[in-house]
Amino acid sequence: MKYLVEIDGTESVVEFKRSGDIVKAEIDGRLYEVEVSNPEPGVHLIKNNGRIYEAFAANIGADRSHISISGNDLEISVSDPRRLRSKDISAGGHEGIAEIKTAMPGKIVRVLVKVGDEVETNDGVIVVEAMKMQNELKSPKNGTIREIRFAEGSTVSAGDILISIE
């Protein structure tokens, strides 16, 4: 399946094929084959040419993630071109309620909004510390903060809904 992947502002076409732990990726015409395992939510071990890399991932919005590999921090956006064709871009992306969830266990460091606040797409709404990294999670849409489920200092689990925006 082909995806559009943006890494720190540089866009590439990536095609992934997975067979068990083996992932083959063609990135802008270059072929890569790595072994990938997922020992816990948000943590990926990538084996390539006899070297093992540990990657930490945290969602920071719709189709966007913060990735840390060997001390290198990257912001990655992945989109399926087929979905983009069927989406009404002028509608602002999300309809209804958007939920911001954690990708891995962590601790709420700061809540940047209050219930009733108006936010715009990509506004920071909450900061979560996971794997010794602080990640600012952003609003995937324009809207109003409907619910905040955790206070500063709270411990959260992978997949917990932190904030709802309508």
65 and 106 both lie in a single domain: no
Max CA separation in the chain (angstroms): 52
CA angle 86, 17, 31 (to 5 degrees): 110
Domain termination site, one of 79, 106, 138: 79
pLDDT digits (tens, 9 = 90+) for 146-157: 999 999 999 998
CB 56 within 8 A of CB 134: no
* Exposure class string for 93-112: b at 16+ Cβ within 10 A, else e: ebeeebebebbbbbebeebb
Residue 67 and residue 100 in one domain:
no
Q: Which domain holds residue 161?
A: 93-165
Torsion angle defined by CA atoms of residues 57, 60, 64 and 69, in that order, rounded to the nearest 10 degrees: -30
**135 occurs within a structural domain:** yes
CATH number at residue 101: 2.40.50.100
Residue 42, classed as helix, strand or coil, is coil
Q: Tell me the two tokens of residue 145.
A: 């903060």
When comparing pLDDT for 65 and 33, which is higher? 33
Overall domain count for the chain: 2
Query: Does 75 lie in the same domain as 8?
Result: yes
Is 88 within a domain? Answer: no
Overall pTM surpassing 0.75 (yes/no): no
Condensed to tens digits (0 to 9), the pLDDT of residues 17-29 reads 888 889 898 887 8
Q: Say yes or no: 151 and 129 in one domain.
A: yes
pLDDT digits (tens, 9 = 90+) for 96-132: 788 888 877 889 999 999 999 999 988 999 998 887 7
